[in-house]
């Protein structure tokens, strides 16, 4: 019967709903060796103090002093920090100057201006030719309502249409290629 009482008090104790009186009763029940043999893992509850002592005077002031100290730098540390900062800035500036001096000035691709001008003309001519592709006038076709005189005539019309459509398809591919970039 008392073991059921101990189980109930332990359940309430670990649930955090016991009163001080119930905790004292639990300690008293567990101090009996017959009950403790059934609950050996609860041995630590016997040694539990009834009251928690208050911290000594000045405890909170000392705690605040320890945790909120201002860091005071000695004069030597300030000079050292300043010297290291200046040295780091000098190293960064020197490295930047060396990189820009070495890689910043690009050399001309062509040393001879005539070769350069010939290359520019070649590129512009190629671009102009590609832009003007498909701009020729289409070859005339007969009216569709007129019946072709021979099967050969129909094949000639088909080849003309195919030539004109291929030029238009080429322009369409150029437009799609430029739109994706």
Per-domain residue ranges for the chain?
Answer: 2-55, 113-180
Q: State how far the Cα of 90 lies from the Cα of 83, in Å rounded to an integer.
A: 11
Contact 22, 9 (CB under 8 A): yes
**SS3 for 122?**
helix
pLDDT at 131: 82
Number of CB atoms found within 10 A of residue 173's CB:
10
Output b/e per residue, 2-33; b: 16+ Cβ within 10 A: eeeebeebbeebeeeebeeeebeebbebbeee
Tens of pLDDT, residues 132-170: 777 777 666 655 545 545 556 777 777 888 887 787 777
| Short-list 133, 141, 130, CA closest to 166 | 133
pLDDT at 85: 93
Angle at 159 (CA atoms; ends 156, 164), nearest 5 degrees: 130
Angle at 40 (CA atoms; ends 37, 46), nearest 5 degrees: 100
Q: State how far the Cα of 83 lies from the Cα of 77, in Å rounded to an integer.
A: 10
Residue 107 has what DSSP assignment?
P
Q: Which residue stretches of the chain have pLDDT < 70?
A: 1, 43-44, 46-52, 70-76, 104-110, 138-152, 171, 174-175, 177-181
Q: State how far the Cα of 40 lies from the Cα of 33, in Å rounded to an integer.
A: 10
pLDDT at 163: 82
Q: pTM here?
A: 0.28
Contact 122, 131 (CB under 8 A): no
Q: State how far the Cα of 181 lies from the Cα of 172, in Å rounded to an integer.
A: 15
pLDDT at 181: 47
């Amino acid at each position: 019967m008392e073991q059921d009482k101990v189980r109930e008090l332990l359940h309430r104790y670990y649930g955090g709903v016991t009163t001080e009186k119930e905790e004292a009763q639990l300690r008293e029940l567990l101090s009996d060796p017959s009950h403790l043999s059934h609950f050996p893992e609860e041995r630590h509850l016997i040694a539990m103090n009834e009251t928690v002592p208050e911290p000594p005077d000045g405890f909170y002031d000392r705690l605040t002093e320890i945790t909120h100290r201002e860091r005071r730098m000695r004069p030597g540390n300030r000079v050292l920090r300043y010297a290291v900062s200046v040295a780091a800035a000098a190293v960064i500036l020197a490295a930047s100057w060396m990189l820009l001096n070495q890689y910043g000035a690009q050399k001309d691709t062509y040393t001879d201006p005539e070769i350069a001008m010939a290359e520019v003309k070649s590129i512009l001519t190629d671009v102009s030719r590609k832009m003007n592709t498909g701009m020729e006038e289409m070859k005339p076709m007969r009216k569709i309502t007129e019946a072709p005189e021979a099967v050969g005539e129909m094949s000639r019309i088909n080849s003309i249409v195919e030539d004109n459509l291929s030029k238009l398809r080429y322009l369409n591919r150029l437009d799609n290629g430029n739109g994706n970039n």
